[in-house]
Amino acid sequence: MHKVSEEPDSAPKLVRHKDVIRLVGFGWYFASSLGVGLGGGIALDSGLDTEPIFLLVGLLIGTAAGFYGMFKMLMPLYKRDARDRDVLSGSNE
């Protein structure tokens, strides 16, 4: 059987609990954004008797809000990961 050799310099990447909680929070945020958008669209459609129009508008608004939330929640992770790579590589700018 062939063993995979590991580089001696590579340290295992640690998972921070704060990061995991942030990603779980993103999932809930995205789901709730879609739910509020769809729920509002269904409520407006039933009240105004305009069947699919507000449902689709609510879906689009909920999706946009979810992706905006994803961007705002994940950018600090990317920035910190880039800083960690700079520190590990020795380039301080």
SS3 42: helix
Q: CA-CA distance, 92 to 72, in Å (whole number)? A: 25
Q: Is the pTM of this model over 0.75?
A: no
pLDDT tens, position by position, 15-59? 778 778 877 888 899 999 999 999 999 999 999 999 899 999 999
Q: CA-CA distance, 24 to 67, in Å (whole number)? A: 15
The full set of domain ranges for the chain reads: 18-81
Helices (H) and strands (E) in the chain, counts: 2, 0
- The percent of residues above 70 in pLDDT, for the chain, comes to 72
